[in-house]
Amino acid sequence: MDLVVVSNRVARAKANEPMTGGLAAALLPVVEKSGAIWVGSSGRVRDNVSKDSFAKIESLGAGALALLDLPAAHYGGYYEGFANSALWPALHSRTDLISVSQDNYQCYREVNAFMARALMRFNKPSAAFWIQDYHFLTLGAEMRELGIRNPLGFFLHTPWPARRVIAGIPHHRDLVESMLAYDLIGFQTEDDCENFATYLRAELGLEVNGGSVSSRFGTSRIAVFPIGIDVDGFAAHAQRAASHPDVSRLRKSLHGERLAIGVDRVDYSKGLVNRISAFDRLFEIQPSLKRSVSLLQIATPSRGGIEAYSNLQDELSKQVTEVNGRHGEVDWTPIRYLNKGFSQTVLAGFYRAAQVGVVTPLHDGMNLVAKEYVAAQNPIDPGVLVLSKFAGAANELDTALLVNPHDIDGMARTIATALSMPSTERRMRWEAMMAKLRAGTIHNWFAGFIEALETAHLAVGPSLLPPVVRPLRVAGGSSSVSDRRMRDPAHFAPRPVAN
Ligand code: G6P
């Protein structure tokens, strides 16, 4: 099988450069080893795109990285518009933030159709396509329409919400019907998969039996594949990183003070405001902790062209200033707040230097920072993970200290508990988490999905049916995001982001 992996964002960075997002960073080590072709956005747009607008095809480990310039006229409506202002908030159950327009949906469909045409270049009988994430829900249907009968798999890195939440998107039926063109649809957790099955039954009137669903495309499988990390690779990074100048500087700056760490993209799903409030509360209820612990919060700017994100960035800056102003001393800053990205190696070193990892999203598909924090710890003296019960990772990392990120007092008390936890208990909890991480590495995830895709395709998958009738297309229109801004190359410069 010749595997073609498709995602909007791809990782080009190596371990010593800032990384580019949870999905891209996670896929890099496995895609490199697998010999797959990884197709994604080049980060640039073009006015006159043809299906052969591959900016670059370069080697990547045993395989290749194929970077595609996307159509300028549709990019804004696709990325900032439908993907990140309609789908992302809906998938994270933030119906209050959903902003949707017919134009943006049209742009989303156009970019999916464009990607499908571009992928024809890699279509051969032995090819299997594995599409990643919410940017490409309708790509499979476009590929089937072009006559591609090969195995098509899809994996959603975000949560799949309750059916009434996704139904808040006017195009929900069209989207989900299109998803059934995939032979295999993978989710992070049982809850996500169940929500999807409930949607299929209730909204589309389809029967879901033992993870199989039949539609006009044929039969698709739905299943759970919790994504993991390269545990040993990350642990090795953490050991090596001890001598990195950034890590040494951090350790030297502590003067015996203990450190809590948070690493996130600036995204409303990450619960950053609540986390800072919990530290504010912690210093109120336990003033003795002042000077003896601080939070290093790395908050990487993300999707800054979207109002909800730029508002959050402003809110956080203000909040951190207030908390530091209230509790800080001339020689002590309670919250060390950095708006930039770091390499995987440096992050691994930072995680190992921190006695507490705080990963408290309001809702998260998996959250690989939680897993990386655990893998980076010193086995003799591991730190404590404080983890939101609403992160997918909480299903596996159930010996972390689980918190409700809406309960500020509860989080403050739990952080205090983490700071005073005896070493025997820390080791016990950490070993249990490491056993889970080792049982579900990124390598197992990758191999497990591919095997399931082959099996699903051999069953009566969509690929065995005659070409489908073109799915209903929406009326034309141009992006609601300013074309001029979207054509500015600086707007697309790859930015280092966290999870
Ligand atoms: C999440 C999404 C990824 C995305 C990443 C960074 O992890 O699931 O698909 O790549 O965020 O977001 P960005 O918009 O910068 O690619």
Q: What is the reported pLDDT for 471?
A: 38
Q: How much distance in Å is there from the Cα of 302 to the middle of ligand 1?
A: 9
Q: Which atom of ligand 1 is nearest to the CA of 135?
A: 9
Q: Residues 267, 364, 443, 457: which is the catalytic one?
A: 364
Give me the residues of the chain with pLDDT under 50, please.
Answer: 466-497
Residue 23 CB–ligand 1 contact under 6 Å:
yes
Residue from 9, 87, 303 to probe ligand 1 pocket by mutation (most atoms less than 8 Å from CB): 9
Q: What is the reported pLDDT for 481?
A: 30
171 catalytic residue (yes or no): no
Q: What is the reported pLDDT for 48?
A: 80
Q: How much distance in Å is there from the Cα of 86 to the middle of ligand 1?
A: 14
For the whole prediction, is pTM greater than 0.85? Answer: yes
246 catalytic residue (yes or no): no
Residue from 28, 41, 302 to probe ligand 1 pocket by mutation (most atoms less than 8 Å from CB): 302
Q: What is the reported pLDDT for 53?
A: 72
Q: What is the pLDDT of residues 275-318, one digit of tens each?
A: 999 999 999 999 999 999 999 999 999 999 999 999 999 999 99
Q: What is the reported pLDDT for 55?
A: 74
Q: How much distance in Å is there from the Cα of 107 to the middle of ligand 1?
A: 19
Residue nearest to atom 12 of ligand 1 (CA): 21
Q: Which residue has the tokens 């074309």?
A: 483
Q: What is the reported pLDDT for 22?
A: 81
Q: What is the reported pLDDT for 484?
A: 29
Q: How much distance in Å is there from the Cα of 287 to the middle of ligand 1?
A: 38
Residue 270 CB–ligand 1 contact under 6 Å:
no
Q: What is the pLDDT of residues 123-174, one digit of tens each?
A: 999 999 999 999 999 999 999 999 999 999 999 999 999 999 999 999 999 9
Q: How much distance in Å is there from the Cα of 309 to the middle of ligand 1?
A: 13
Residue 364 CB–ligand 1 contact under 6 Å:
no
Strand pairing report for 127-132 and 152-155: parallel
CA distance between the termini of the chain: 30
Residue 157 CB–ligand 1 contact under 6 Å:
yes
B/e letters for 377-403, b = 16+ CB within 10 Å, e = fewer, are beeeebbbbbbbebbbbbbbbebbbbb
Q: Residues 157, 171, 244, 443: which is the catalytic one?
A: 157
Give the domains, in start order, of the chain with CATH numbers.
2-227+442-492 (3.40.50.2000), 231-439 (3.40.50.2000)
Q: Which residues contact 423 (CB under 8 A, 6 or more apart)?
A: 381
Q: What is the pLDDT of residues 411-456, one digit of tens each?
A: 999 999 999 999 999 999 999 999 999 999 999 999 999 999 999 9
Q: What is the reported pLDDT for 246?
A: 96
Residue 302 CB–ligand 1 contact under 6 Å:
yes
Residue 281 CB–ligand 1 contact under 6 Å:
no
Q: How much distance in Å is there from the Cα of 51 to the middle of ligand 1?
A: 24
Q: What is the reported pLDDT for 13?
A: 54
Residue 180 CB–ligand 1 contact under 6 Å:
no
Residue nearest to atom 14 of ligand 1 (CA): 303
